[in-house]
Chains A and B, each alone.
Chain A
Amino acid sequence: MKKFLKDHGIWVLFAAAVISVALAVMSFFSNTSSPLVNLVGTISSPFRSAYTSMVSWFNEKQAYFEDIQALEAENEALRKRNAELEAAARQAEKNNQENALLRERLNLREQKYELELETAIITEREVTNWTSSLTLDRGTVHGVETGDCVVSSTNDLVGIVSKVGTNWCKVLTIVDTDTSLGAQVFRTKDLGLAQGDFSLMEENRLRLDYLPADCQLLGGDLVVTSGLGGYYPSDLVIGTIEEVQKDESGAASYAVIVPAADFDALSEVFIIKSFDIVT
């Protein structure tokens, strides 16, 4: 080993260092993804899409023959839920009208919540056991940028775009260790930082850190994006509080969040390309 390192070690180290620095520099200076990564992703994207379509077709055929009794029970539950939501929507409509009237009387500016969405298909899920990511079939040609939020059809936050290529993008889900975003507990208005934790990632959970010392959280409390700083839209549903725990030092507490989005069940998502929110 000593002889090898003496004769060739410096060259192996040099080659590894040059390639590492080149990849890191290209990644750092690129707003999207480094040219090599983009090339590989662009070439492999159609194959990923084709393979995923094939697998989805087989899964759909398999699901078609699922237990009909379970589907009937689900249908019944959904009917009840639909009736509840229709009642809530009627009440919300009345509230909106009242709100608009009061705003007009008080000369308050008009509220806006407009999102520009791009529909995307998931072509690949986690590729290693150390990250939680999704690959989508939309890229720079569709106007997708790094840092865009990705939501499900029910407006639940799925993740953040971390890399973009010509016709693909990688999304780190909200449970990934590289994801952190400003969050707010809907009921108490307490602010915190929702971030991935490797110990919780496998159970599809994330942490809510930097909570105020006097916060009174309850299990089931809804957590949404705070929108502070303007990087991400506000009021996107992150999930619900499962439990509150003390950290390793015992001095501060953090909450464990169950994401609202079911990552395994997703096949189609929406990328928020831009937003205009006035509250």
Chain B
Amino acid sequence: MLARNETIFKWALYAAAAALCFLVQAFVLQRFTVWGVIPFLYPALAAIPATQESPVPGTVFALTVGVVCDLLLAESLPCFYTLVFPLVGLCASLIAQSWLPAGFLCSLAVSALGFVLTGVFHCFLLWTREKAAWGAGAFVCCRELLVSLPLVIPTTLLFSAVRRRTHLDD
């Protein structure tokens, strides 16, 4: 159990790491396309820290990432990421606790889940507006996943470093 000031320090470091990821996405990744898609870090950013925490803090962190994404990105639904990312965070945390211990493999699995959930929600919204594009949506989602998965490794390293720095007793 961490003391209050240690907890604050831990979440400040998590926030700084997340801010770094946001900067990399905004100033580097979204300036080029690979295989016709922009590498997209945010679903992984909601999922990976959650694998290292219990479900409540993991979900709340993912919720915060979702709110920030909604403030920064233009989507047809103003609360798109606020709705999807808590679910991603919750699933990621539960998977890490029950099936796959936190690590690269777990990060890859939960990030993939994050991309799939985000893609499915996008397709669902298109369907509700009578502009269904399940096939095209699945294709974009697959390419986004393949292009972005390599970024999961440095992101996992970053958040693992934060975890090690703040949980010296583990």
Cβ contacts B29-54/A at 8 Å (1 or 0 each): 01100001110100000000000000
In this assembly, does B13 line the interface, its C-beta being within 8 Å of a C-beta of chain A? Answer: no
Q: Return chain B residues, CB-CB under 8 Å to A77.
A: none
Q: Return chain B residues, CB-CB under 8 Å to A1.
A: 94, 98
By beta carbon, the residue of chain B nearest A38 is B71
Cβ contacts B111-132/A at 8 Å (1 or 0 each): 0000000000010001001010
Tell me, rounded to whole Å, the shortest Cβ–Cβ distance linking B148 to chain A: 10
Q: Is A15 within 8 A of B72, CB to CB?
A: no
Q: Is A16 within 8 A of B82, CB to CB?
A: yes
CA distance A127 to B73 in the complex (A): 7
Number of interface residues of A (CB under 8 A): 40
CA distance A26 to B78 in the complex (A): 9
Cβ contacts A116-133/B at 8 Å (1 or 0 each): 000000001111111101
Q: Is the interface of B mostly helix, strand, loop or mixed?
A: helix
- Which of A26, A128, A202 is within 8 Å of B73, CB to CB? A128
By beta carbon, the residue of chain A nearest B122 is A130
Which of A1, A12, A26, A44 has the most C-beta atoms of chain B within 10 angstroms of its own C-beta? A12
Sorting the interface of chain B by its residue count into under 10, 10 to 19, 20 to 34 or 35 or more gives: 35 or more
Q: Is A40 within 8 A of B76, CB to CB?
A: no
Q: Return chain A residues, CB-CB under 8 Å to B94.
A: 1, 4
In this assembly, does A197 line the interface, its C-beta being within 8 Å of a C-beta of chain B? Answer: yes
By beta carbon, the residue of chain A nearest B86 is A16
Q: Return chain A residues, CB-CB under 8 Å to B56.
A: 4, 8, 12
Cβ contacts A10-23/B at 8 Å (1 or 0 each): 00100110011101
- Which of A12, A163, A178, A199 is within 8 Å of B90, CB to CB? A12
Q: Is B76 within 8 A of A197, CB to CB?
A: no
Q: Is A19 within 8 A of B135, CB to CB?
A: no
Q: Is A20 within 8 A of B74, CB to CB?
A: no
CA distance A16 to B66 in the complex (A): 9
- Which of B82, B90, B140 is within 8 Å of A129, CB to CB? B140
Q: Is A37 within 8 A of B136, CB to CB?
A: no
Q: Is B78 within 8 A of A170, CB to CB?
A: no
Q: Is B78 within 8 A of A23, CB to CB?
A: yes
Q: Is B140 within 8 A of A130, CB to CB?
A: yes
Q: Return chain B residues, CB-CB under 8 Å to A55.
A: 31
CA distance A55 to B94 in the complex (A): 42
Tell me, rounded to whole Å, the shortest Cβ–Cβ distance linking A98 to chain B: 46
Q: Return chain B residues, CB-CB under 8 Å to A4.
A: 55-56, 90, 94
Q: Is A131 within 8 A of B74, CB to CB?
A: yes
Tell me, rounded to whole Å, the shortest Cβ–Cβ distance linking A27 to chain B: 4
By beta carbon, the residue of chain B nearest A129 is B37
CA distance A133 to B75 in the complex (A): 10
Q: Is B126 within 8 A of A177, CB to CB?
A: yes
Q: Is A15 within 8 A of B74, CB to CB?
A: no
Q: Is B126 within 8 A of A127, CB to CB?
A: no
Q: Is B63 within 8 A of A128, CB to CB?
A: no
CB-CB under 8 A for A198 and B137, given A1-B94, A20-B79: yes
In this assembly, does B162 line the interface, its C-beta being within 8 Å of a C-beta of chain A? Answer: no
Tell me, rounded to whole Å, the shortest Cβ–Cβ distance linking A21 to chain B: 8
Q: Is A199 within 8 A of B135, CB to CB?
A: yes
Q: Return chain B residues, CB-CB under 8 Å to A8.
A: 55-56, 59
In this assembly, does A277 line the interface, its C-beta being within 8 Å of a C-beta of chain B? Answer: no
Q: Is A128 within 8 A of B82, CB to CB?
A: no
In this assembly, does A24 line the interface, its C-beta being within 8 Å of a C-beta of chain B? Answer: yes
CA distance A19 to B140 in the complex (A): 28
CA distance A12 to B40 in the complex (A): 25
CA distance A199 to B134 in the complex (A): 9
In this assembly, does A34 line the interface, its C-beta being within 8 Å of a C-beta of chain B? Answer: yes
By beta carbon, the residue of chain B nearest A134 is B74
| A-B CB contact pairs (8 Å), 18 listed | A12-B56, A16-B86, A20-B82, A20-B83, A23-B79, A23-B82, A26-B78, A124-B30, A125-B30, A126-B30, A127-B38, A127-B72, A128-B73, A129-B144, A163-B74, A170-B74, A177-B126, A202-B136
Which chain B residues have a beta carbon within 8 Å of chain A's beta carbons? 26-27, 30-31, 36-38, 40, 55-56, 59-60, 63, 66-67, 70-79, 82-83, 86, 90, 94, 98, 122, 126, 129, 131, 133, 135-137, 140, 143-144
Interchain residue pairs A-B with the least CB separation, the first 3:
A20-B79, A198-B133, A27-B78
